[in-house]
Structure 1
Amino acid sequence: MSTPCPSVLLVALSSAEEQAQCRALRVRDEQSDFIASNSESLEQAADSPWCEPLAVRALHSGEMVGFLMHALDPDENSRWIYRLMIDHQHQGRGYGRAALRALLAYLQQLPGGPGVALGVAPENIGARRLYAGEGFVETGEVIDGELIMRRMLV
């Protein structure tokens, strides 16, 4: 029997304090090669108006447990998930799956095509398993060394 996902809120990072909390989140050391740091991601978002960075907060406590960022690719008219990370202290509790599900529900409400894509390091077996479990399919495309996975939003 599977454990239900915890409930999460996706919240805009609207203050310097929230951004500092986000920058302090870390993945496990062995995962650090799989994802850009949150500092780098926030810098990218500041330079890219099409990116939307969001904090992942545990609904029961309000604590920031992770970070994600998505964007609309105007050339493809599809959404991309650029980042999804859960702090090392909160991994293994279902927050990643809950955040992904919350983001997919959110993206369905936004303009753009019905597809969503993401890139994942080939060695990141846990992430590939998570995404496949939520309907993402590896396309055979590789961009900057990452496997591309896609799924429909509807």
Structure 2
Amino acid sequence: MITLRPISKDNLWECLDLSVHPNQQQYVASNAISISQSKVQPECIPLAIYHDEMMVGFLMYCLDSEDDEYWIYRLMIDHHFQNQGFGTEALHQVIELIKGDKTRHQIFLGVNPESAPAIHLYEEAGFEFNGQIFGQEHVMVLTY
């Protein structure tokens, strides 16, 4: 069973030890950078992804202060736990968490167009490219 839990002093180092495959590192910021970002952007909510009591990944979402929309800023599954459905389940859980705010009806994220597995994951969840590009990332949106 997958659960999303806050990052705390009790699980910080475990979270910092997570890593993607070396060939995926250019597609996602490190968990250390993401957690640091959440300290200076308090709208960012970093969460650990657990399978039972084992931390298997990390995600961070926010209600962006610039455009007042929900964004999934990060989603990573440690290379030891990839291809087991954990990313899919974590994505579905964060989507449902965001949908709890009935004042919004869209979720955005950015993805590198060369990251085919990430694009497949997001498209399976209903995200579509909207034509926007920010740096190396192409924006996808889920409208609900």
TM-score after normalising by structure 2: 0.95
The aligned length equals: 144
Percentage of identical aligned residues: 35
Aligned amino acid, residue 70 of structure 1: Y
2:41 counterpart of 1:48: yes
Residue segments in structure 1 that go unaligned for 5+ positions in a row: 1-6
1:27 aligns with 2:9: no
State the TM-score, normalizing by the size of structure 1.
0.89
Deviations 1:90-137 (A, max 9, x none): 000000000000100111113652110000011100000110011000
Measured against aligned partners, the alpha-carbon deviations of 1:3-44 in whole angstroms (never above 9, x if no partner) come to xxxx31010112x23111110000000000000000010000
Match status 1:12 vs 2:2: no
Q: Distance in 1 between matches of 2:29 and 2:84?
A: 22
Where in structure 2 are the equivalents of 1:52-71 lying within 5 Å? Answer: 52-58=45-51, 61-71=52-62
Gaps of 5+ in 2: none
- The counterpart of 1:119, out of the listed 102, 110, 124, is 110
Please provide the CA RMSD for this pair. 1.2
Q: CA-to-partner distance for each residue in 1:23-75, whole Å, 9 max, x for gaps?
A: 000000000000000001000011111000000001xx311000000010244
